[in-house]
């Protein structure tokens, strides 16, 4: 299910986590060469992704909200 990004925070290990409008959180790692998300490491890049949609597997699984 496609959900919009509403914000970001960092977890205890400093990994970036996207907050989705469904109440679920999703890690958005920049971990080359496996995960290429250079936008996540800058404030400007993250702000540019607010409102974009990500596939939320937690919704498909019927998981309870993370917040």
Question: By rule CB under 5 A, what string of x and - marks binding of each residue 5-44 to Zn ion?
Answer: -----------------x-x--------------------
Supply the Cα-derived Rg of the chain in whole angstroms.
12
Pick the piece of the chain touching Zn ion (CB under 5 A) from 11-19, 33-41, 44-52, 58-66: 58-66
Query: How far is the C-alpha of 49 from the C-alpha of 64, rounded, in Å?
Result: 24
Pick the piece of the chain touching Zn ion (CB under 5 A) from 10-18, 34-42, 45-53, 54-62: 54-62
Residue 61 DSSP label: H
Count the residues of the shown chain that bind Zn ion, applying the rule CB under 5 A: 5
SS3 label, residue 39: helix
């Amino acid at each position: 299910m496609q959900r919009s990004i509403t914000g970001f925070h960092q977890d205890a290990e400093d990994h970036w986590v996207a907050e989705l409008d469904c109440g679920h959180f999703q890690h958005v790692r920049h971990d080359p060469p496996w995960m290429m998300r250079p936008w996540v490491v800058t404030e400007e890049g993250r702000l540019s992704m607010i409102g974009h949609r990500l596939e939320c597997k937690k919704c498909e699984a019927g998981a309870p909200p993370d917040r």
